[in-house]
C-alpha cells in the first residue's frame, strides 16, 4: 500500500546551521506534532509513504492508494482547513484519519468553526470508514454536525509502544531525583481559566528550577532559541523574556544558570525518546511531552488546561490533574496521582480496539506478522524494522 500523509509529519529535514525557529516552523510550530505522525506510522505497514505537499493532487491520485491524516486539534475556532479539504477532494482517494481533536476552554459541543474547517469535516466524513477522534468530547462536537461514523481512539502517539504495552514501575518517592518538566506560555488565553493557568505555568518553571530539572520546550520560541544555540551568544533576549514571564529579575543568577543549562528541545523523535530514559518522573501541561516519557516507561502526569488534553487523558486512563483543581505544584502529590497498574490495564483494553479500527479503515497493523514495509518519507529514505514482533 502506498500512503500519502497529511497533517503532522514524523520528522523534519534540518539544514546545517538552520535557525531553530525555522526548524520549529517545519514541525508545524510544535515539536510534539512529530510524535503524532511517528506514533501513527510505527503501528501500520506500508510500501511507500510521502508528504510532499507540492505534489499535484492528480499525481497523488495516480501514485497512492490512500490519504492518511495524522490529526491534532484541528477543530478550533481560529483554524481554517479549507485548503486541505480542497486538496483531498482533488486527490479523490479514500481517507483514513486518526487523532482529530476539538479544542475549547469548556465542554460546550457547539463550537463555531470556520467555513473551511466545516468543509474539511464534511469531506473526510464522506471518504473514510470512521473518523478517529481524541476523545468523547470531539465525538460529541461531530455528532452535533450529523457525523456519526466516528471512533474514539485517543492520540496515535499513545499506541507507539505497540502490543507489549506499558510497564511502569512504582518507586519510593525519595528515589525520584531527576525530573523533566514542560509547560506552554502560549496557550494561557484559551485555557479553562487563564489566571490559574498563568500562575500554574509560572510555578512549573519555578519547580523546575528548585529541582534542577530539565525543561523540555516544544513551541516556546525564547526557550527553543536558548536550548538550540546556547553557545552562540544572543541568549540575553530569550532570558529576559523568560524572566519577565516569571516576574523575576533578568539578571537573577539562579534563573540564568537554570535556563542556560537545563532548557532542552528535540527536533528528532528518536533522540527525544532516548533522552527520556534518563528521567525518574515527568510532568507538565504538554500532553506529548508527558506521552513520550510513558513510551519509555517513565511515570508522567499531565496538568490539563483545556478540553484537548483532558478529554484524551480521561479516555486513555492517563494520570492527570486539572488546572481547576491545583493551587500548587507539589511534586510528591503529583507522583502519587499515578495508578501504575491502571495505566497498563487501560492500555490493554484499548489496544485491541485500536487494531480493529486500523483494520476497518483499510490500514495494515504492524506487529502481527505482516510483511516488511519499505518507505519513502518525503524524498528521504527511511529504514523500517521487520513487522513481526513489533
The predicted structure's pLDDT at residue 186: 82
> Is the Cβ–Cβ distance between 320 and 303 less than 8 Å?
yes
> Is the Cβ–Cβ distance between 69 and 124 less than 8 Å?
yes
Cell (9 digits) for 102: 476539538
State the Cα–Cα distance between residues 191 and 82, nearest whole angstrom. Answer: 25
The predicted structure's pLDDT at residue 197: 94
Hey, CA dihedral for 89, 91, 96, 98, is it positive or negative?
negative
The predicted structure's pLDDT at residue 233: 57
pLDDT class of 99 with cuts at 50, 70, 90: very high
State the Cα–Cα distance between residues 314 and 296, nearest whole angstrom. Answer: 21
The predicted structure's pLDDT at residue 66: 98
The tens digit of pLDDT for each residue in 27-55 reads 999 999 999 999 999 999 999 999 998 99
- pLDDT averaged over every residue in the chain: 91
Average pLDDT over residues 367-385: 39
The dihedrals phi and psi of 100, each to the nearest 5 degrees, come to -65, 130
State the Cα–Cα distance between residues 81 and 65, nearest whole angstrom. Answer: 22
Q: Which of 310, 303, 288, 308 is nearest to 104 (CA)?
A: 308
Radius of gyration of the chain (CA): 21
The predicted structure's pLDDT at residue 228: 81
Pairing label, strands 281-284, 179-182 = parallel
> Is the Cβ–Cβ distance between 376 and 49 less than 8 Å?
yes
Residues of the chain with pLDDT > 90, as a percent, come to: 82
The Cα angle at residue 291 between residues 285 and 296, in degrees rounded to 5: 135
The tens digit of pLDDT for each residue in 52-65 reads 989 999 999 999 99
276: exposed, middle or buried (Cβ count in 10 Å: 0-12, 13-18, 19+):
buried
The tens digit of pLDDT for each residue in 152-210 reads 999 999 999 999 999 999 999 999 999 999 998 888 888 899 999 999 999 999 999 99
The predicted structure's pLDDT at residue 384: 30
More confident of the two residues 371 and 161: 161
The predicted structure's pLDDT at residue 247: 86
Residues of the chain with pLDDT > 70, as a percent, come to: 92
Does residue 88 surpass a pLDDT of 90? yes
pLDDT class of 249 with cuts at 50, 70, 90: low
The dihedrals phi and psi of 353, each to the nearest 5 degrees, come to -60, -40
Is 173-337 in the same CATH topology as 2-163+344-382?
Answer: yes
The dihedrals phi and psi of 154, each to the nearest 5 degrees, come to 80, -165
Does residue 310 surpass a pLDDT of 80? yes
> Is the Cβ–Cβ distance between 378 and 26 less than 8 Å?
no
Q: Which of 318, 315, 314 is nearest to 292 (CA)?
A: 318
Ranges of beta strands (E only) in 46-178 are: 48-50, 66-70, 95-98, 131-133, 150-152
The predicted structure's pLDDT at residue 378: 39
The predicted structure's pLDDT at residue 53: 87
The predicted structure's pLDDT at residue 382: 34
Return the domain boundaries, the chain. 2-163+344-382, 173-337
Does residue 341 surpass a pLDDT of 60? yes
Specify whether domain 173-337 bears CATH 3.30.230. no
More confident of the two residues 203 and 371: 203
> Is the Cβ–Cβ distance between 289 and 223 less than 8 Å?
no
Coil, strand or helix at 214: strand
State the Cα–Cα distance between residues 216 and 31, nearest whole angstrom. Answer: 10
State the Cα–Cα distance between residues 92 and 370, nearest whole angstrom. Answer: 27
The domain made up of 2-163+344-382 has a fold known as Rossmann fold (3.40.50)
Amino acid at each position: 500500500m502506498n500512503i500519502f500523509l497529511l497533517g503532522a509529519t514524523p520528522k523534519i529535514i534540518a539544514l546545517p546551521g538552520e535557525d531553530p525557529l525555522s526548524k520549529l516552523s517545519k514541525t508545524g510550530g510544535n515539536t510534539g506534532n512529530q510524535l503524532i505522525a511517528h506514533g501513527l506510522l510505527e503501528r501500520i505497514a506500508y510500501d511507500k509513504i510521502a508528504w510532499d505537499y507540492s505534489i499535484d493532487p492528480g499525481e497523488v491520485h495516480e501514485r497512492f492508494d490512500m490519504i492518511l491524516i495524522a490529526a491534532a486539534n484541528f477543530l478550533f475556532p481560529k483554524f481554517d482547513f479549507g485548503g486541505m479539504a480542497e486538496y483531498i477532494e482533488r486527490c479523490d482517494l479514500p481517507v483514513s484519519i486518526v487523532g482529530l481533536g476539538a479544542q475549547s476552554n469548556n465542554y460546550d459541543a457547539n463550537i463555531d468553526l470556520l467555513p473551511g474547517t466545516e468543509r474539511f469535516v464534511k469531506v473526510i466524513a464522506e471518504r473514510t470508514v470512521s473518523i478517529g477522534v481524541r476523545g468523547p468530547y470531539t465525538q460529541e462536537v461531530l455528532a452535533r454536525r450529523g457525523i456519526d461514523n466516528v471512533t474514539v481512539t485517543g492520540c496515535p502517539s499513545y499506541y507507539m509502544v505497540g502490543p507489549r504495552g506499558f510497564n511502569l514501575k512504582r518507586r519510593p518517592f525519595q528515589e525520584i531525583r531527576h525530573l523533566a518538566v514542560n509547560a506552554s506560555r502560549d496557550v494561557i488565553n484559551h485555557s479553562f481559566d487563564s489566571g490559574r493557568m498563568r500562575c500554574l505555568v509560572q510555578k512549573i518553571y519555578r519547580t523546575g528550577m528548585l529541582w534542577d530539572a530539565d525543561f523540555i520546550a516544544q513551541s516556546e520560541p525564547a526557550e527553543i532559541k536558548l536550548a538550540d544555540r546556547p553557545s552562540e551568544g544572543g541568549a540575553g533576549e530569550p532570558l529576559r523574556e523568560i524572566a519577565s514571564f516569571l516576574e523575576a529579575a533578568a539578571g537573577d543568577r539562579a534563573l540564568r544558570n537554570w535556563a542556560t543549562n537545563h532548557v532542552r528541545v528535540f527536533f528528532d523523535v528518536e533522540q527525544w525518546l532516548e533522552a527520556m530514559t534518563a528521567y525518574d518522573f515527568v510532568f507538565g501541561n504538554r500532553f506529548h511531552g508527558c506521552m513520550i516519557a510513558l513510551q519509555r516507561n517513565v511515570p508522567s502526569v499531565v496538568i490539563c488546561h483545556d478540553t484537548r488534553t483532558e478529554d484524551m487523558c480521561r479516555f486513555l486512563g492517563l494520570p492527570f490533574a486539572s488546572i481547576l483543581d491545583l493551587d500548587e505544584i507539589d511534586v510528591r502529590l503529583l507522583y502519587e496521582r499515578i495508578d501504575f497498574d491502571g495505566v497498563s490495564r487501560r492500555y490493554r483494553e484499548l489496544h485491541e480496539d485500536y487494531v480493529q479500527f486500523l483494520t476497518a479503515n483499510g490500514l495494515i497493523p504492524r506487529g502481527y506478522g505482516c510483511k516488511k514495509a519499505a518507505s519513502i518519507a518525503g524524498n528521504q529514505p527511511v529504514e523500517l524494522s521487520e513487522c513481526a514482533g513489533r
